[in-house]
Amino acid sequence: MIVNAYSVEALAAALFCIGLAGVLIRRNLIVVFVSVELMLNAVNLNLVALTRRADLLVPVEGDAVALFVILLAACEVAVGLGILVALYRRFGSVAIEDVGRLKE
Amino acid sequence: MREAAFLLFGGAMIISALLAVTRRNPVHAALWLVLTMLSLAGVYLALGAVFLAMAQIFVYAGAIMVLFLFVVMLVGAPVEELKTPFRKGSLWGVVAAGAVFVAFLTRMPALERVRVVVFEVTARALASPLIGSGGNWGRHALAFELGSVLVVAAILGAILMVRTGREEISEEADDDR
């Protein structure tokens, strides 16, 4: 059987690290947000794998929590994109160097 | 069968995720994210999380991606930003993320012996912890109901933020006149 806990968690880790790299290297805030979504989904895949691990025996708990994460992600995207539009109106740009006023 | 689906959708997910974080144009990044979400729904199906796969397609590939594309179209990207989409010294970011990945992989080899028991979790199976069954409340019933309050609060917050911005702009337009 190819699909053991290691292969699923390695897939989730790869997705998480691609998202992490995106957060670290991109300039555009929209693409940074896209990368954060990738990281959230990696955690969800981990929860789904956790439900099905033979050594843990938690029948549906992980899937229920994953559904909560999807719900929270929907809220987070609505608020985050609202902030993004407000930032664009204030600064005229969504590049991360242009919205760092709090640092000054 | 399930192994083949897992490998196929998993590979498609990694490739489209890589493309999503490396494309210059934010519109392309958002569209590759759609494919990532759909492939992840395929992985969920291969692992037997049928209801979660449907929720993933409805909420992520549907609602969230429409919001993303709407904001990308509204905000857009200036031409000079399309030429340099990456930060200075972004190589170190890739190195850091790669180091985290290697750290994950080296901590996990014990998991190779752990089997994954594929079983289907349907909407009915999820309903009993979330809502309740047989006249009893589910374990997460309160959190589930509070979730709906949170969604309403998020919608109102988003509308409020975008609306005040528009009033400021119309006031500026009045000042110009």
Residue B132's pLDDT band (boundaries 50, 70, 90)? confident
Residue B125's pLDDT band (boundaries 50, 70, 90)? confident
Q: Is residue B91's pLDDT more than 90?
A: no
Distance of CA B111 to the CA centre of its chain: 26
CB contact under 8 A, B105 and A71: no
For residue A30, the enclosing domain spans: 5-95
Nearest-5° Cα angle at B148, B143 to B154: 115
Element (H, E) at A81: helix A61-91
User: pLDDT tens for residues B153-175?
Assistant: 999 998 888 886 555 556 666 66
Instruction: List the one residue out of B46, B52, B50, B39 whose CA is nearest residue B5.
Output: B46
A contacts of B94 (beta carbons < 8 Å) = 21, 24-25
Please check whether residue A54 lies inside any domain of the structure. yes
**CATH number, domain at A10?**
1.10.287.3510
Q: Which of B36-40, B78-82, B86-90 has the lowest average pLDDT?
A: B78-82
The complex's ipTM works out to 0.90
Q: Are B33 and B68 contacting, i.e. CB atoms less than 8 angstroms apart?
A: yes
- pLDDT at position B81 is 67
Provide the terminal-to-terminal Cα distance of chain B, rounded to the nearest Å: 68
- pLDDT at position A15 is 95
Please report how many Cα atoms fall inside a 13 Å half-sphere around the Cα of residue A64, on the Cβ side. 19
Which domains are present in chain B? 1-121 (1.20.120.1200), 123-177 (no CATH)
- pLDDT at position A76 is 92
Residue with the bigger pLDDT between B75 and B29: it is: B29
User: pLDDT tens for residues B98-124?
Assistant: 999 999 888 887 777 778 878 888 888
Provide the terminal-to-terminal Cα distance of chain A, rounded to the nearest Å: 56
Q: What is the mean pLDDT of residues B73-92?
A: 75
> Phi-psi region for residue B134, left (φ > 0), alpha (ψ -120 to 50) or beta?
left
Residues of chain A with pLDDT under 70: 1-2, 57, 103-104
CB contact under 8 A, A74 and B71: no
Q: Which of A49-63, B31-45, B61-75 has the lowest average pLDDT?
A: A49-63
- Beta-strand ranges (E) seen in A1-104 are none
How many domains in chain A? 1
Could you give the dihedral angle defined by the CA atoms of residues A88, A89, A92 and A95, in that order, rounded to the nearest 10 degrees?
-10
**Nearest Cβ partner of A17 from B75, B97, B151?**
B97
Residue B8's pLDDT band (boundaries 50, 70, 90)? very high
Q: Are A45 and A12 contacting, i.e. CB atoms less than 8 angstroms apart?
A: yes
**Nearest Cβ partner of B125 from A35, A60, A81?**
A60
- Report the helix count and the strand count for chain B, using DSSP H and E: 8, 2
Structure tokens at B20: 């999503």
Place of tokens 């349907």: B122
The chain-wide mean pLDDT, for chain B, equals 84
Please check whether residue A103 lies inside any domain of the structure. no
Please check whether residue A104 lies inside any domain of the structure. no
- pLDDT at position B111 is 77
Residue with the bigger pLDDT between B78 and A99: it is: A99
Structure tokens at B87: 């930060």
